Amino acid sequence: MYHRLAKSVPVLLLSVISLSATGQTSSVSNPRNGWENNPYSKYGLGELRIGNNTSLRGMGNITSAYSSATMANTDNPASYSFIRRTTFEVGANMTTRTVEGTDNGTTEKYKSGTASVAYMNLAVPVGKNAGMCFGFRPYSATYYYLTDTIHSTSTPASPLGDAIKSYRGEGAMNFAFVGGSAKYKGLSAGMNFGFLFGNINKSIVLVPTDKLTYNNAYYSQFVTNSRV
């Protein structure tokens, strides 16, 4: 039987996730770029993105020993040597989230959503026993904006009386890479060489509101700018 492989396999991934969360502080979405307000993105490099392609996500992100003649498994670069046709893949993510919380006894909620490129891969066979892959994908995203009110009776107590403390962060990390592999008989080995780059800006602002009692208090701001 004669089996002909496709010369190119474009893939479009559209995943829709709906989540619900509760919070104790007030928060707002970003009106400029539509990013969702995610307090967990405050830590580390932000909320990590999944860079696997459509097929691997549909199989529960099984990437350890998977190989294909027309699809790049970027989590296992040793699979590149099994590619038989030049393959270009593009995926997109769309996420919606509903956050609900209580502010002074009033229940508030807001909805936010994001849409972005999930990955771009170009896999190329190099002879019969080798292959290469060029790829790009978002690595992480950071956006949060939270405000909290502290008082002299809070635990720990505020030394400035009533004050508003806000936390804000915004930024993203991207990952570009090139990988290659070769095989000999039943053994295949490969490596990815990548470049992680991006910017993350974080700030904490404390604004005293009880100026009658603490009339010499000034607001303070701490800013951290990280460039990778």
Record the tokens describing residue 103, joined without a space.
Answer: 């502010």
Residue 219: pLDDT band (50, 70, 90) is confident
Contact between residue 114 and residue 93 where contact means Cβ atoms under 8 Å apart: yes
C-alpha distances out from residue 225 to 139, 141, 186, 222, 228, Å: 18, 15, 48, 10, 10
C-alpha distances out from residue 3 to 6, 33, Å: 10, 47
Residue 105 CA to residue 227 CA, distance in Å, equals: 40
C-alpha distances out from residue 223 to 6, 7, 141, 192, 220, Å: 52, 50, 18, 35, 10
| Token pair 């008989």 in the structure block, residue | 185
Give me the chain's average pLDDT, please. 78
| Percentage, residues of the chain above pLDDT 90 | 30
Contact between residue 97 and residue 141 where contact means Cβ atoms under 8 Å apart: no
The pLDDT of 161-186, averaged and rounded, is: 91
**pLDDT in the model for residue 35:** 67
Is pLDDT at 158 greater than 80 in this prediction? Answer: no
Is pLDDT at 154 greater than 50 in this prediction? Answer: yes
Is pLDDT at 23 greater than 50 in this prediction? Answer: no
The pLDDT of 22-34, averaged and rounded, is: 44
pLDDT per position as a tens digit, 40-56: 888 888 888 877 777 77
Is pLDDT at 133 greater than 90 in this prediction? Answer: yes
Instruction: Tell me which H or E stretch contains 58.
Output: helix 54-58
Least confident of 22-36, 60-74, 146-160: 22-36
The pLDDT of 114-139, averaged and rounded, is: 90
Contact between residue 162 and residue 210 where contact means Cβ atoms under 8 Å apart: yes
Is this model's pTM higher than 0.75 or not?
no
Residue 171: pLDDT band (50, 70, 90) is very high
Residue 25 CA to residue 209 CA, distance in Å, equals: 17
Q: Write b or e for each residue in 123-142: b if 16 or more Cβ atoms lie within 10 A of its Cβ, otherwise e.
A: bbbeeeebbbbebbbbbbbb
* Sign of the torsion angle spanned by Cα atoms 152, 207, 29, 118: negative
